[in-house]
Amino acid sequence: MLDTASPAAKAAATPPEKADPPAATAAPRPPLWRREALALALFAFFALAPAIAQVGAEGYLLSLVIRAMIFAIAALSLDLILGYGALVSFGHAAFVGIGCYAVGILMAHAVPDLFVQLLVTLLASALFAFVTGAISLRTKGVYFIMITLAFGQMVYFLTTSLAPYGGDDGLTLPSRSTVLGTDVLENDLVFYYLVLACLVGVYAMLRAIVGSRFGRVLRGTKENPVRMQAIGYDPYRYQLCAYVIAGMIAGLAGFLLANQLEFVSPAFISWQRSGELIIMVVLGGMGTLVGPIVGAMSFLFLEEILARITQDWKLIFGPLLVLVALFARGGILGFFKRAK
């Protein structure tokens, strides 16, 4: 039979379509100060530490906090490639050593200016990172670990062979670096706030890098490098760039360490020092940026406390690390986040 119903009747008989669900509204992003509350608290503690130290052994406490901040800078540099790029480098201390020896060698040749030393440090670290990274990043997994370890040990044995610069015994610096011909860094308080400014600057720079398109691609190469390559990104180039940035920041840490101790030694470059940097990152929390600062502080403060109890303090520290690995996935920060 022919359908004689009018179009209006057909429309009336047709069940109405379901309305589209309302679009989910994105949760408002918390303000910057709340997202960076822990980092701001740590920086505030560092800023107030000199005043707090006046009630005790000021020189000792300031020296310990300066050392913690310097190693926090080195740990931050490692977190960029380890926490965000899954690149386990067992030769990262080589960059710290390059920074130290750039200061020491220039001092030995009567070039004490801070700006010259810092420029040489950054250029030497970047060059070494570019050459070694270009080779190391062609390997993966345990092979990458072993080749970075090999490059680190090459630098270690090179410095032990530098007889004019102390060899195995290291090299004592005549003074700290000068700023435009002045010895203003001989004042411990001025040097303290210089280190703090470097730490804050490095943290802010890495936070901007991680939050940028470059950082998102770097995290993507960590999760699935094949997929990143399929959508048009070259993981090798991004990882190499991150490796060079990390090397330069670690070189800055070495520059500051040499000025604090007024002494450089091949011991700063040993693979054990690279292992300690990895422990700091893992202890605080990988891939957080705040975690390496917490990890560096925890590692050095625990070392000082346990060393007062026994010379074999590592026998106590080792089991503590095992407990962290078993019960605090994500490090100290991960433990407290889950405890909330």
Write down the residue that tokens 């605090």 correspond to. Answer: 328
The two structure tokens encoding residue 197: 């400014």
The closest of 46, 50, 39, 41 to 69, measured between CA atoms, is 46
- Which pLDDT score is estimated for 10? 46
Q: What are the start-end ranges of the E strands in the chain?
A: 171-172, 263-264
In this predicted structure, the answer to whether residue 340 has a pLDDT above a threshold of 70 is: no
Interatomic CA distance for residues 74 and 71, integer angstroms: 5
Interatomic CA distance for residues 178 and 186, integer angstroms: 9
The two structure tokens encoding residue 274: 């690279």
- Which pLDDT score is estimated for 72? 96
- Which pLDDT score is estimated for 143? 93
Say how many CA atoms lie within 13 Å of 138 toward its Cβ: 5
pLDDT class for 228, splitting at 50, 70, 90? confident
Q: pLDDT, tens digit, for every residue of 133-162? A: 999 999 988 999 999 999 999 999 999 998
- Which pLDDT score is estimated for 28? 59
Q: pLDDT, tens digit, for every residue of 179-210? A: 988 899 998 899 999 999 999 999 999 999 99
In this predicted structure, the answer to whether residue 176 has a pLDDT above a threshold of 80 is: yes
- Which pLDDT score is estimated for 326? 79
- Who has greater pLDDT, 147 or 9? 147
Write down the residue that tokens 């020896």 correspond to. Answer: 101
In this predicted structure, the answer to whether residue 16 has a pLDDT above a threshold of 80 is: no
Average pLDDT of the segment spanning 220-235: 87
- Which pLDDT score is estimated for 252? 96
Q: pLDDT, tens digit, for every residue of 39-79? A: 899 999 999 988 877 766 667 788 899 999 999 999 999 99
Q: Which residues are CB-contacts of 239 (< 8 A; sequence separation ≥ 6)?
A: 81, 85, 87, 133, 137, 218, 221
- Which pLDDT score is estimated for 120? 96
Backbone angles phi, psi at 172, to 5 degrees: -90, 130
Interatomic CA distance for residues 173 and 107, integer angstroms: 7
